[in-house]
Structure 1
Amino acid sequence: MDDINENDLRELRKITEYCFPRSRIIKPSVFETALEFSTPYFERVGEKIASSILDLNFEIFWKDQIVQMAGIGCVSTYPEYRGAGLVRYLMTKILQDEYKRKTVISYLEPFSAKFYEKFGYKVAFYEKIYKIRMAEFPKGSKAKITRLSLDDALTYLQNIHEKDQSLGSLRRTKIQWEYYFKLRSQPKVALAGNEGYLLYSFDNDKFVIEELVTLTDEARQALFYFISSHSSYEMIVYKAPGQENLEVEVPEPTHMNIQLHPNMMARIINLKEFFRINGEPYFRVEILDPILSENNGVYGPEGPVIKMTIGEFTSKVIAEEKAIIREVF
């Protein structure tokens, strides 16, 4: 925020409010908190900010390491300036800057997958939405569960999430925990000691599981018991990462409604840095990057060459590594 003044801040909030009128991000406290871990990019036409993007500075877990990830959010352009190439200019500048910083990868939630494919992104993550009658949810095993406010639970949540280290998922700082769960979704919290947590909410007759993270099966079963004890709710809705397999734990999985939605797109930014962390590909591949020509080249062992865009290669790696993401930007 050091590079923007109060007038810039007002204009950035104004363009975001215009483009995302139904989002919680437009609340001043939410937007200004996002700016605490973001770099705003914007372009003016005359004296007015006509287009802006937040480059959210995240870290993710990847193969026992913590790596830099650029989250793209709040992509905004006033309608009278759309089609003028402003977003292309800003996106290109962000990717070039992040490449120089040796940022490994970038995620975004697209309004149009086709549009972001122009910048090397490809759908890589999926959200699995379960709908199941409360009476048919796994009963679990009774154990001590503690309900706390988010403020009181924050240290426990951070510790459990840090130990989980699901490949590809965010390593949330304190301010990011507050951004996602205090300022935006505001869920209720249940803890299974130091081994698991549940973030949940109520929606009329539905019990909504917003996030479920467990380090042991005992913690998972304890939280299942806690969930199933809410017998006054008819349905459970569970918004899970694509790799969740709740269906194998349910007595009658054919009674469930399961939807798999394309969720987040991704692209590797600095390919050399990615190979340093993840290793060279096991197959011969020619990678084509529409924005960062530094990534173009042939990699991997000798053999038949497969041509892939940087986005296609990223999506393949994420699928094979079973990486997950729990957040949207």
Structure 2
Amino acid sequence: MIRTLEERDYSQSLQLSEYAFQYKLSEEEREQRSEQMGDQKIFGIFHDDHLAAKLHLMPFQTWFGERMIPMGGVAGVATYPEYRRNGYVRKLLLHSLEAMKEAGQFISMLHPFYIDFYRKFGWEVFASYRQMTVDQKELSPLSTATCTIRREGVTKEVMEAYDRYAKKHNGMLVRTDAWWKKKEDQWHVATYHADEMEGYILYTISEGVMTVDEFLPLTPGARKGLWNFICQHDSMVLTVKVKLAEGEVLPLMLKNPRIKVEDYPYFMARVVDVEPFLKTYLRDKETFEAFTLKVVDQHATWNSAVWHLSVNGVERRDGSPADVEVGIKELSAFTFGFLSAADLEAMGHIDADEVAFLESVSTTRQTCFQDFF
């Protein structure tokens, strides 16, 4: 039987996390984690009052262009070895889908320990990132206009810059002040200023390696200026590693573009409740030819239906012939903008005559996700 953990269960939850993810918390960290649990729903399966498996469900919002969408973040999924292969994680995931639907969180995200495992339950990769590794000898500045770089904390300008960048993409986390506070405690912040603040980086330096975890330019000048600031560390570091959003053009601008650039499939997403999600998604579409969409979702049966999509909205029409049939994980990757209709056809998920229907409602924004939970 699944039940929601109470404060008296938090110690067991922390012990399971320490065992499963192989770390040890200090007493201060245990207190901080316990406080954070009050803002989460933690579902657990118990054996004789002993916690056997658990799943954390966190309430978030994500940017979908200019709109904010309620999202359920799945994290901390863990089972003790002696209780594995009993289907406990499956039960917890299905329970979380029902809980998210009830809470009005009509999309979900998670960081997978193994991508194919979560695909079985309808989640699909929606965001990847590129890591650029540059040796000290390749740290060559680019020409740039006069500007100012400031090393400072997380300011209101930094938060606003993030939001401006996020609204150009699908899937980025809506960050609270508390979330930003964690960023400030863990990274250095450098900002680029011309007439106004036009971008920033979050970075650390340790043992001869500069790691840029967030490279966020809003203008071409900021892209050059922030890179030049990174190059100014050439006397301090042997290697620079820069985490870049998919589609970021910086590697091509370097004087020697033949550097190591690795692609990492990163976060996964899932549409939890098709009807309200599609209603929100289609608000950006001023005109397209109406069509019917059959969604197949074996784990969230409320989604398995034929939906009529038009500029007037979304209507359930079970029994009607469908112009397009698609699984929930493919629909999720498509609507976020990670896979195109042509990609779905190339992968064998839809037929050639279905491509045009989906293309008519495709998003023009790229996906991006810069966080972790």
- Where 1:230 maps in the other structure, the secondary structure is coil
Q: Calculate the TM-score normalised by the size of structure 1.
A: 0.87
Q: Report if aligned partners of 1:196, 1:214 keep a CA contact under 8 Å in 2.
A: yes
Q: Report if aligned partners of 1:129, 1:237 keep a CA contact under 8 Å in 2.
A: yes
* 1:208-245 CA distance string (max 9 Å, x none): 11101222223322212211111122322112222322
Question: Can you give the 5+ residue segments of structure 1 that lack an aligned partner in the other structure?
Answer: none
Provide the C-alpha distance between the structure 2 equivalents of 1:326 and 1:177, rounded to a whole number of angstroms: 12
The amino acid that maps onto 1:66 is M
1:229-268 map, 5 Å: 229-232=232-235, 233-253=237-257, 255-268=258-271
Q: Report if aligned partners of 1:286, 1:308 keep a CA contact under 8 Å in 2.
A: yes
How far has the Cα of 1:132 moved from its partner?
1.9
Q: Do residues 77 (structure 1) and 79 (structure 2) align?
A: yes
Q: Report if aligned partners of 2:74, 2:108 keep a CA contact under 8 Å in 1.
A: yes
Q: 1:32 to 1:174 in 2, by over 3 A?
A: farther
Q: Report if aligned partners of 2:5, 2:43 keep a CA contact under 8 Å in 1.
A: no
How far has the Cα of 1:97 moved from its partner?
1.5
Match 1:310 to one of 325, 328, 334: 328
Provide the C-alpha distance between the structure 1 equivalents of 2:332 and 2:9, rounded to a whole number of angstroms: 35
Q: 1:197 to 1:89 in 2, by over 3 A?
A: same
Provide the C-alpha distance between the structure 1 equivalents of 2:54 and 2:321, rounded to a whole number of angstroms: 44
The amino acid that maps onto 1:107 is M
**Which residue is equivalent to 2:150?**
146
1:102-113 map, 5 Å: 102-113=104-115
Q: Do residues 290 (structure 1) and 298 (structure 2) align?
A: yes
Q: Report if aligned partners of 2:306, 2:322 keep a CA contact under 8 Å in 1.
A: no
Q: Calculate the TM-score normalised by the size of structure 2.
A: 0.78
**Which residue is equivalent to 2:359?**
none
**Which residue is equivalent to 1:323?**
367
Q: Percent identity?
A: 23
Structure 1 ranges of 4+ moved more than 6 A? 23-26, 280-283, 301-304
Q: Do residues 21 (structure 1) and 22 (structure 2) align?
A: yes
Provide the C-alpha distance between the structure 1 equivalents of 2:26 and 2:269, rounded to a whole number of angstroms: 22
* 1:55-114 CA distance string (max 9 Å, x none): 111111113111111111110111111112221221111111111222121111111222
Q: Report if aligned partners of 2:126, 2:367 keep a CA contact under 8 Å in 1.
A: no
RMSD, aligned CA: 2.7
The amino acid that maps onto 2:248 is E
The amino acid that maps onto 2:263 is L
Q: Report if aligned partners of 2:106, 2:273 keep a CA contact under 8 Å in 1.
A: yes
Greater mean alpha carbon deviation, residues 318-327 or residues 105-114: 318-327
Q: Report if aligned partners of 1:33, 1:175 keep a CA contact under 8 Å in 2.
A: no
How far has the Cα of 1:198 moved from its partner?
0.9
Question: Can you give the 5+ residue segments of structure 2 that lack an aligned partner in the other structure?
Answer: 311-319, 341-364
How far has the Cα of 1:304 moved from its partner?
7.3
Q: Report if aligned partners of 2:204, 2:211 keep a CA contact under 8 Å in 1.
A: yes
- Where 1:153 maps in the other structure, the secondary structure is coil
- Which one scores higher on RCO, CA 8 angstroms, separation ≥ 6? 1
Greater mean alpha carbon deviation, residues 104-113 or residues 137-146: 137-146
Answer with 1 or 2: which has the greater Rg.
2
- Where 2:180 maps in the other structure, the secondary structure is helix
1:18-57 map, 5 Å: 18-22=19-23, 27-29=29-31, 31-32=33-34, 34-57=36-59
- The total of aligned residue pairs comes to 320
How far has the Cα of 1:123 moved from its partner?
1.8
1:73-222 map, 5 Å: 73-137=75-139, 139-140=141-142, 141=144, 143-148=147-152, 152-165=153-166, 166-180=169-183, 182=185, 186-193=186-193, 194-222=197-225
- Where 1:146 maps in the other structure, the secondary structure is strand
How far has the Cα of 1:201 moved from its partner?
1.1
